[in-house]
Each structure stands twice: as C-alpha cells, then as structure tokens.
C-alpha cells in the first residue's frame, strides 16, 4: 500500500492544538504552519517601511543567513532547517553584541568609545560582565541552530539573566560590599550596580543571607539553563561524567546501555527492575516475567561463557545484563585454544545468553519542548570482530566491512505533519465532547503513536468509538487504536506518517544491542514505533513465519536477514539453505560460501532438501545423544575443548556443527507440489531442530490455512506479519487481527516466541547495491563448497503403476486406517472427502498391499498393520527404503557404554516425540472428522492438505 502523501489537515489549527496539549505545544508547527500565514497577513496590513530601513534589515538578514548557514553546519549538520523557522537576524544580533562586549571586556580595547562602553557594562554588572559575551554566544548559537525551539531559547535566556543577577549579588558580597559612596571603581571590581542593589538589602540582615540566597539562585539558574529538573540531577551528573570520561556507567553496571539509540534487550530472568518495566510497556507482561519464557533460552544459552572482548566490543568492558562474565580461568582457556589453533570460541559462545529480541527503550513522548530533535549520531562503525576468524583448513576470514552498509537518514522526532495530526485529534475529541487530551506522541519511522489520556470518568469506548471520525480527520484509513498502550494508562492511536522514513539495515546493525553481541545469528529487524532499534537472535526464535501480501516487504525482510548474517557470521558459524521458488528474490546470494547447496528454485527439489535437513538433524541428534550433550552449543564447545573424541577405531574427525538456517521464500509453492512431504519435514524439523542448531524461516504471501497449516503454525512460534490483504490472513499469521491495517513497504507486526502482543516495527531496508557489495566481499574470501547430498537427486521413487496419481490420498488412507485400526470404506469416504468409487479403490489398494484384509460384506475389514509398523509401510508405498527402526537412537546410545542418564533421557524424549507425532496425526484426522460432522460448509482450519 502506498504511503499517503496528502497534506496534513488544517495547518492553521496548529496553534490551537498547541494550547490544548499543554506543555507540549507543537511550537514547531505553531511557528511553521502559522508563521507564514501570519507573515502574509502582516505584509497586508502593516504600513510600508522606508526603503532604506528595509534595505538595512535585508542586509542584516542576509549576513545573518550566511553566518547561520555556517553555524548550522558545525558538528551535526542541521542545515535542513525550514527557512520559515530561521531567526538569523536575532541570532546575529546576539553574536554581534557578544563580540562587541568581548572586545572591550576580554581583550581590553582602549579609546574613548571602548572606555565608555566598558564603564557602562562594568558599572552595571561588575566583573560579571566578563561572562556576558559567553552567554550571548550561547544564545546566538541556539538561535541559529534551533530557532523553532522558542520555549527552550526563552528558558536559556531567562536562565542566564537569573545567573547574571545571582552572580552580581555574590560578586558584591565577595567583592567587599562596596557602597556608592565609595565611588564606582569599587562597584566595578565587585558586582556593579546590579550587585549592589541585589545584595545590599539582604546583607543588611546578615552578610550570610545574600550568599545563601544568591548561591541557591545561581544553582537554580544552572538548572534552568540546562533544563534539569531536580530529580534528574544525579542522572545529568552521571551523563556529564560519562560524556567527559568516555565511559558508560550504566553499561558497566549492566544496566540499560546506550540511551541514544534507545534500544534495550528483552532480558531473561536476570533482568533488573527498570528493564522489566520497559518490557511491560511493550508486551504488557507482568513484572514477574510471566509469559516471557520465550526469551529464556535453553540452558546451554544461559550458561554460555561470555567473552569479554566479544561481548563488550572494543574498549567497552561491559557484558549484557543477565550474562555471566567469564572467570579469568575461562578466558585463559579460550585464549590458549585460540593460540593453539583449535578454532576460536564461536561468537555464539560469547553471546548465547543474549536473549531473543531487543527493542526500543520506550521513551517519553516527544512533546518535550526542551528536546525536540535528537541529532543523529555520526554513524559508529560496526566493530569488526577482534579475534582472527580462522576457518577450518586454516583460512583466515574477514567479515565484510561496515562501510558496505550505508547509514540512513536522520530520524525525525517531530515534524509538522505530527503537529497537524495532534491538532486534528484534539479537534475531533472536542467536536465529540470527549474529555480527553492528546498528551504526547512517539514518532517511529512509519507510524506515529499519539497518546490520549482520558479525564476521570470518561469511558475508553468514547475514544475507540471515534475510530472512523479520527480516520476521517487525519485523512488516513490505516488508523490503529491500542487501548490501552501496553503498560500505560493511555490510549494509543497509531497513524501513518505522511513523511515516513526508511530504516537502514546499517543503522540497525550499528545500534547498541546489535553491537553488544557477536552472536552470529543476530539479525537487524528494524525500528519500532518509538524509534528504537529492534534486533533478534534467530537461534532463539527458533523458527519464524514471515507472511504478508504481495509487495508488503517479505523479501526485503529476508534480504535484511541474510545480509545481517553475512555481515556477522563466518561460513563455519552459519550455513544456509535458500529456497527461492520465485527464482529472482535470492539470486544475489548465489555462490556465497555460507550456502550449503546452490539456491534451490525447483519446488520439488526444495521438498527434497527439507528431507535432507531432517536427515541432517537426525545425524546431529545422534551425535548429541552419543556424546551426552543436550544442545549443539554444548557439543560444539566440547569439540573445541577437545572433549569429544571419536571411538578409537573410527576415522571420523569431529568438527563443530555450524548453525543451519533454512530460508524458504515462498512456502505456498512448495505446499502446492508436495504438501504432505513438505509439511511432514517442516513439522519434524520445527519440533526437534532447535537443539540441533537448525532454524527455519518460512515466508509466504498466501497465509491461508492450506499453506500455513495448523501443524506448521503450531510448530513455528515466531511470526512476522507484513500487511495482509484480509483480517482472516492476519488471524492465520498472528492469531489476532491487526496485520490488515499495516501500510506495506516493510511495516510489520513482530510476534517473537513467547510474546503475547505483537510489536509494530518498520523492517530494515538494505539496497541491492549494499547486498552486492557484501556478497562480493564474502565471495572474494571463500568459494562456496556445496554438499552434494542436499541437492542430489533423491532416490528415485518406484511408485507402483496401479497407484498412479493417488499416492497422496493413499498415504492418508493408510495412515488413517492403521492409526484408527478401523478398515471401513465409508470412513475413508467421510474423512478423506472422496466419493464412494475412490474410497473403494483405495481400500482395494490397501488390501493388495496387505494393510487390510479381504472384504467381509458390510463389516469393517481387518487391519493387518499395527500402528508401530506404519512408517515402513508408508515408505514402501512411496517407493522409498524403509526408514531406520524407531529405536535407532536408543541403539546408538547402547553402543556408547559411557552414555549418561541425561542422554538416555534424551533418547526417550526422541522416541516420545515420535509417538507424539503419530498421535498428532491421529488428532489431525479426528479434527477433520468433528468439523465434518459439525459444520458442513464451514471453514475447516484442519482441512486435509491433500485437497
């Protein structure tokens, strides 16, 4: 969907809105929306100035603009200022006055004129006049750079005035309390005339009184100038200290970290109180952390070693909260291993305790007059990993440089469009007599969330019922109302920005959270509604469904994900299988060494590749079970530590397994060719693969129940929903409405595992040229070495002629009959929804293969195959070799005499999982049955995939 470009309604109402929104007067809009109009009016009514005066004013303004243009380019460039906002004339006046006073007061110019001026100044303010140029320079600087911040500028001006008065008062006391009778010389050396007038009445009481009074006033003036409320003094002191010393005290304490990018990590159990509060705000979770199990990783993740350098990055000796610092001994062991060339500890080691998702630290709504614009930090380079990344075969690998990803535009915290919307919302509330106020807004890249607070006794429904009127007032149909904003007593109204911003992947990867971890599976997701960066650890998802209508941004998201991995992970850490039935979306990555097989474009081959993934998973499980580890990370760590030794007679060299990321760009195409096989593989992988380090990302533009079947959904816990075409699709993806209101082009609802509320994010964008640069770098480092068995032709299926095209339905019939142990033709008819003739034919085929006995008239046939033998029978029908006996894992275990109890338990788990699979299959048909009986024409969420 396109972004709306219609101009904001009723600019002239801005000033009104400003008033009604209290302190958060949209000064900017007030000034811009209305200044121009005001200016025009003024031009119409005011008498014409004499031309000489106008010429002079013009010249003054001209010089002001030239100087202003230079000042605005100092440091962070703010020269994109709206010309209507400039106050360069006034700023130049402050600057000129400051220079003028400095010439006499600082540099001691002599002569009658300087002497007169100096005497006046000195006589008035005493030696405090030395500070006046400094104050004027600050005022000029602000006026040049932030002229729209009228309140802020006034505040600074008033603060300086108070400071000057307090200073003169103190100077008077400490200057020996001269009197006028002593002559002006004495006054000049103290606080001047102002100091005398200010301090002498109080000094008459006691000399200490003016010292205390003006000392306090001087302190208050500093607070006014720096916009520091009393409560914020410690924080400001800490920030000043951090700024001066270049350290991050919060980080060092394991707290929130960089406040600039306003990002933070959703933590595991070890979070501190403030963090929990933040999490609550987004997801509406309890402070006790209930419902965040999704963020609590595997045991292996939580007890991972943290590599200091890796976790903290260069020069930042901090570790993420909730992560254990390594002991000195552990650090030493890791270093020795690295030196011995045993392979570096994987980045994952350092960061496996990093939780799944990080998102924006919710910030105060933006209508704070003192800080209307946050300047974009100069792009910090993505720190290169410091350790040498040596791959197997002694190849040294360097990750792509940060320069490959260009920084995005400066994020805006407030624009005129926002102010216009505030005005429109306020008008609407007033028109309908709803006693509520727009108290602020948080601007994200795509949408802005406006916060509305109700007066006591006003019903929430009064606002939510206005949703259509609000849409009308702001001229947008994509208005989303959150009532309440999770964790806040306020109603949120999300309205698309007419001036939306693109979120660059480079910026996301440069954010604090992404930099804090070296975990190779961390990807840049985008930015949330409050403008905070969101990153996610794919290893903790552990599988993700990405869905949305055509053009909504799925492929761009997949591109960001792959590029993130290429930027951060070596081929030894992460390997990928890419399935791209559309043939065009992922071709850019052809040949990258992270690929395990060429990009698969043929859906049939893709189905086979999924089966390979299942086999790979089983192989990994065998190793885990044999050597007694519960998670691949533990196993890899042990391999690197040399603790995993193959049996003496084996020639096998055991190496750490890389994470395996399987990306399917269009699931629907796969489900069309081999629904059953694909679903089986996906379910099996998703149920078990997490501990084996295998993660699936399934993207589809058809989130309908025949593509995203109930079984797939149940096993893919993390969801990323881009704009869907209907509320039904949104429900399929997220189990809740909302995605149909998204506005496309990367606008998404992100529901990571364990979260109950979806988080709105604008997906990160990576351009083709950026991808090209990254890919070129990666390919230049290493050639792709493909595994032959993945894309190899699967063993030819010898499907019997008499089965023909009915294989799928025959398999279903076999499974049905065997699992229910009931050989009835009419049951097949009902459950498979086939006609009598077809059901009869299926029964004949089953009889010919020895699944059921001969017909016994109207009685059900005997079922000759036991549920335990179902797998080989199904394989035989498919023309494949029968799979290994179900107890293969247990058999493998028994070979290992030293297998410990945990391993045994795990093998049992596997068998139990197998049984659970079968049970689900039975439930599946039962589900179909009940729907059948209950609602003939209704939507069948558990419909058979064969149909």
Ligand X SMILES: Nc1ncnc2c1ncn2[C@@H]1O[C@H](COP(=O)(O)OP(=O)(O)OP(=O)(O)O)[C@@H](O)[C@H]1O
Q: In 3-state terms, the chain is what percent helix, strand and coil (to 5)?
A: 50, 10, 40
Is residue 437 near ligand X by the rule CB under 6 A? no
Measured CA to CA, the distance from residue 884 to residue 795 in angstroms comes to: 16
| DSSP-H helix ranges across 432-521 | 460-464, 467-474, 505-510, 512-516
Q: Tell me how far, at minimum, the Cβ of 742 lies from ligand X, in Å.
A: 11
Q: Tell me how far, at minimum, the Cβ of 734 lies from ligand X, in Å.
A: 16
Nearer Cβ to ligand X (531/746): 746
Please check if 353 is assigned to a binding site: no
Question: 722: part of which helix (H) or strand (E)?
Answer: strand 718-722
Q: Tell me how far, at minimum, the Cβ of 445 lies from ligand X, in Å.
A: 8
The region of 240-248, 380-388, 543-551, 889-897 touching ligand X under the rule CB under 6 A is 543-551
The region of 15-23, 170-178, 551-559, 857-865 touching ligand X under the rule CB under 6 A is 551-559
Q: Could you give the angle at the alpha carbon of 463 between the alpha carbons of 458 and 469, nearest 5°?
A: 145
Q: Binding pattern to ligand X, positions 149-168, x when CB under 6 A? A: --------------------
Q: Tell me how far, at minimum, the Cβ of 666 lies from ligand X, in Å.
A: 7
Q: Name the residue among 699, 368, 715 with its Cα closest to residue 543.
A: 715
Nearer Cβ to ligand X (7/550): 550
Q: Is 932 exposed, middle or buried (0-12, 13-18, 19+ CB in 10 A)?
A: middle
Q: Tell me how far, at minimum, the Cβ of 764 lies from ligand X, in Å.
A: 6
Nearer Cβ to ligand X (508/574): 508
The region of 235-243, 384-392, 549-557, 790-798 touching ligand X under the rule CB under 6 A is 549-557
Residues 675, 678, 680, 683, CA torsion sign: negative
Please check if 11 is assigned to a binding site: no
Please check if 252 is assigned to a binding site: no
In three-state form (DSSP H/G/I as H, E/B as E, the rest C), the secondary structure along 541-579 is CCCEEEECCCCCCHHHHHHHHHHHHHHHCCCCCEEEEEE
Is residue 765 near ligand X by the rule CB under 6 A? yes
Could you write out the DSSP letters of every residue in 47-106?
Answer: PPPPHHHHHHHHHHHHHHHHHHHHHHTSSS--TT--GGG--HHHHHHHHHHHHHHHHHHT
DSSP 370: T
Measured CA to CA, the distance from residue 546 to residue 565 in angstroms comes to: 17
Nearer Cβ to ligand X (88/478): 478
In this chain, which of 681, 745, 824, 825 binds ligand X, going by CB under 6 A?
745
Nearer Cβ to ligand X (283/765): 765
Nearer Cβ to ligand X (550/756): 550
Please check if 548 is assigned to a binding site: yes
Q: Tell me how far, at minimum, the Cβ of 746 lies from ligand X, in Å.
A: 2
Write down how long the chain is.
947
Instruction: Using DSSP, state whether 878 is helix, strand or coil.
Output: helix
Nearer Cβ to ligand X (428/560): 560
Whether residue 852 contacts residue 864, with contact meaning beta carbons closer than 8 Å, is answered with: yes
Please check if 550 is assigned to a binding site: yes
In this chain, which of 552, 688, 811, 839 binds ligand X, going by CB under 6 A?
552
Q: Tell me how far, at minimum, the Cβ of 786 lies from ligand X, in Å.
A: 26
Residues 695-714 that bind ligand X (CB under 6 A): 701
Nearer Cβ to ligand X (190/721): 721
> Regarding beta strands 533-537 and 357-360, do their DSSP bridges make them parallel or antiparallel, or are they unpaired?
antiparallel
The region of 202-210, 265-273, 286-294, 554-562 touching ligand X under the rule CB under 6 A is 554-562
Measured CA to CA, the distance from residue 643 to residue 321 in angstroms comes to: 30
Residues 498-537 that bind ligand X (CB under 6 A): 502
CB neighbourhood size of 214 (10 A): 26
Mark residue 693 as left, alpha or beta (left: phi above 0; alpha: psi -120 to 50; beta: remaining): left
The region of 390-398, 544-552, 600-608, 628-636 touching ligand X under the rule CB under 6 A is 544-552
Q: Tell me how far, at minimum, the Cβ of 498 lies from ligand X, in Å.
A: 15
DSSP 907: H
Q: Which residue has the tokens 């003939």?
A: 936
Measured CA to CA, the distance from residue 59 to residue 275 in angstroms comes to: 55
Residues 722-741 that bind ligand X (CB under 6 A): 722
Please check if 551 is assigned to a binding site: yes
The region of 548-556, 562-570, 784-792, 807-815 touching ligand X under the rule CB under 6 A is 548-556
Residues in the interface with ligand X (CB under 6 A) total 15
In this chain, which of 30, 408, 506, 548 binds ligand X, going by CB under 6 A?
548
Q: Tell me how far, at minimum, the Cβ of 24 lies from ligand X, in Å.
A: 29
Please check if 552 is assigned to a binding site: yes
Q: Tell me how far, at minimum, the Cβ of 357 lies from ligand X, in Å.
A: 18
Is residue 554 near ligand X by the rule CB under 6 A? yes
Using only C-alpha atoms, the chain has a radius of gyration, in whole angstroms, of 35
Q: Which residues of 576-603 are buried (b: 16+ CB within 10 A; e: fewer)?
A: bbbbbbeeebbebbeebbbbbbebbbeb
Q: Tell me how far, at minimum, the Cβ of 502 lies from ligand X, in Å.
A: 5
In this chain, which of 179, 409, 550, 930 binds ligand X, going by CB under 6 A?
550
List strand residue ranges (DSSP E) for 735-815, in order. 747-751, 759-763
Residues 226, 232, 237, 239, CA torsion sign: negative
Residue 477: how many CA atoms within 13 Å on its side-chain side? Answer: 4
Task: Using CB under 6 A, list all residues that contact ligand X.
Answer: 502, 548, 550-556, 701, 722, 745-746, 763, 765
Binding residues: 548-555
Binding residues for ATP: 548-555
């Amino acid at each position: 969907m396109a972004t709306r470009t219609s101009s904001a309604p009723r600019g002239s109402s801005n000033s009104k809105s400003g008033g009604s929104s209290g302190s958060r007067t949209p000064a900017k809009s007030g000034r811009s929306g209305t200044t121009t109009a005001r200016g025009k009016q003024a031009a119409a009514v005011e008498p014409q100035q004499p031309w000489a005066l106008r010429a002079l004013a013009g010249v003054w303004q001209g010089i002001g603009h030239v100087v202003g243009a230079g000042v605005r380019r100092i440091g962070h460039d703010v020269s994109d200022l709206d010309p209507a906002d400039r106050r360069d004339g006034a700023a130049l006046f402050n600057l000129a006055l400051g220079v003028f006073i400095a010439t006499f007061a600082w540099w001691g110019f002599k002569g009658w004129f300087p002497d007169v001026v100096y005497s006046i100044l000195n006589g008035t303010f005493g030696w405090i006049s030395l500070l006046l140029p400094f104050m004027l320079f600050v005022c000029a600087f602000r006026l040049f750079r932030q002229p729209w911040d009228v309140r802020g500028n006034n505040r600074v001006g008033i603060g300086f005035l108070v400071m000057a008065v307090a200073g003169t008062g103190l100077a008077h006391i400490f200057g020996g309390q001269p009197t006028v009778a002593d002559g002006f010389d004495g006054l000049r050396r103290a606080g001047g005339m102002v100091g005398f007038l200010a301090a002498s009445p109080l000094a008459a009481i006691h000399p200490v009184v003016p010292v205390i009074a003006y000392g306090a006033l001087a302190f208050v003036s500093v607070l006014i100038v720096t916009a520091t409320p009393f409560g914020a003094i410690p924080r400001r002191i800490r920030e000043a200290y951090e700024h001066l010393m270049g350290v991050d005290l919060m980080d060092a304490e394991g707290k929130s970290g960089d406040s600039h990018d306003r990002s933070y990590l959703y933590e595991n159990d070890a979070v501190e109180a403030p963090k929990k509060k933040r999490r609550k705000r987004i997801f509406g979770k309890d402070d006790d952390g209930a419902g965040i199990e999704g963020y609590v990783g595997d045991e292996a993740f939580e007890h991972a070693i943290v590599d200091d350098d890796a976790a903290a990055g260069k020069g930042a000796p901090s570790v993420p909260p909730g992560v254990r610092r390594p002991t000195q001994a552990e650090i030493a062991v890791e270093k020795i291993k690295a030196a011995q060339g045993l392979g570096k500890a994987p980045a994952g080691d350092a960061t496996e305790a990093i939780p799944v998702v990080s998102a924006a630290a919710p910030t105060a709504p933006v209508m704070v007059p003192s800080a209307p614009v946050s300047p974009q930090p100069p792009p910090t380079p993505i720190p290169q990993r410091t350790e040498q990344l040596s791959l197997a075969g002694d190849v040294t690998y360097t990750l792509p440089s940060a320069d490959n990803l260009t920084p995005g535009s400066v994020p805006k915290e407030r624009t005129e469009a926002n102010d216009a919307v505030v005005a429109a919302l306020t008008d609407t509330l007033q028109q309908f007599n709803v006693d509520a106020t727009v108290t602020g807004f948080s601007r994200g890249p795509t949408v802005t969330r406006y916060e509305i607070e109700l007066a006591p006794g006003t019903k929430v429904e009064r606002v939510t019922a206005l949703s259509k009127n609000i849409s009308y007032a702001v001229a947008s149909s994509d208005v989303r109302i959150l009532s309440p904003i999770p964790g806040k007593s306020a109603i949120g109204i999300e309205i698309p920005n007419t001036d939306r911003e693109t979120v660059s992947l480079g910026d996301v990867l440069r954010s604090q959270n992404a930099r804090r971890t070296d975990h190779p599976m961390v990807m840049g997701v985008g930015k949330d509604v409050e403008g905070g960066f969101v990153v996610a650890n794919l290893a903790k998802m552990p599988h993700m469904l990405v869905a949305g209508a055509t053009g909504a941004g799925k492929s761009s998201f997949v591109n960001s994900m792959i590029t993130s991995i290429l930027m951060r992970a070596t081929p030894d850490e992460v390997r990928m299988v890419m399935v791209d039935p559309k043939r065009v979306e992922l071709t850019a990555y052809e040949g990258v060494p992270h690929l395990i097989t060429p990009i698969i474009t043929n859906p049939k081959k893709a189905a086979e590749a999924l089966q390979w993934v299942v086999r790979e998973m089983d192989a990994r499980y065998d190793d885990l079970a044999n050597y007694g580890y519960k998670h691949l990370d533990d196993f890899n760590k042990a391999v690197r530590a040399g603790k995993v030794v193959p049996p003496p007679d084996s020639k096998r060299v055991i190496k750490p397994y890389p994470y395996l990321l399987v990306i399917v760009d269009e699931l629907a195409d796969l489900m069309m060719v081999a629904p059953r096989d694909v679903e089986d593989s996906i379910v099996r992988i998703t149920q078990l693969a997490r501990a084996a380090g295998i993660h699936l990302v399934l993207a589809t533009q058809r989130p309908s129940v025949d593509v995203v079947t109930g079984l797939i959904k149940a096993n893919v816990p993390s969801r990323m929903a881009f704009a869907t075409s209907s509320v039904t699709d949104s429900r399929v993806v997220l189990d809740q409405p909302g995605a149909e209101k998204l506005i496309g082009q990367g606008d998404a609802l992100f529901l990571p595992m364990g979260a109950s509320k979806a988080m709105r994010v604008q997906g990160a964008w990576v351009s083709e040229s950026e991808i090209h640069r990254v890919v070129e770098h990666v390919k230049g480092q290493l050639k792709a070495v493909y595994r032959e068995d993945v894309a190899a032709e699967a063993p030819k299926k010898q499907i019997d002629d008499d089965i023909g095209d009915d294989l799928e339905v025959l398999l279903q019939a076999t499974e049905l009959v065997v699992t229910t142990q009931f050989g009835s033709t009419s049951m097949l008819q009902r459950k498979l929804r086939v006609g009598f003739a077809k059901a009869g034919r299926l029964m004949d085929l089953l009889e010919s293969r020895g699944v059921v006995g001969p017909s016994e008239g109207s009685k059900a046939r005997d079922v000759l195959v036991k549920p335990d033998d179902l797998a080989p029978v199904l394989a035989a029908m498919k023309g494949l070799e029968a799979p290994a006996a179900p107890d293969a894992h247990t058999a493998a275990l028994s070979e290992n005499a030293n297998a410990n109890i945990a391993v045994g338990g795990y093998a049992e788990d596997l068998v139990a999982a197998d049984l659970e699979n079968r049970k689900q299959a039975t439930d599946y048909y039962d589900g179909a049955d009940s729907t059948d009986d209950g609602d003939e024409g209704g939507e069948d969420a558990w419909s058979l995939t064969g149909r």
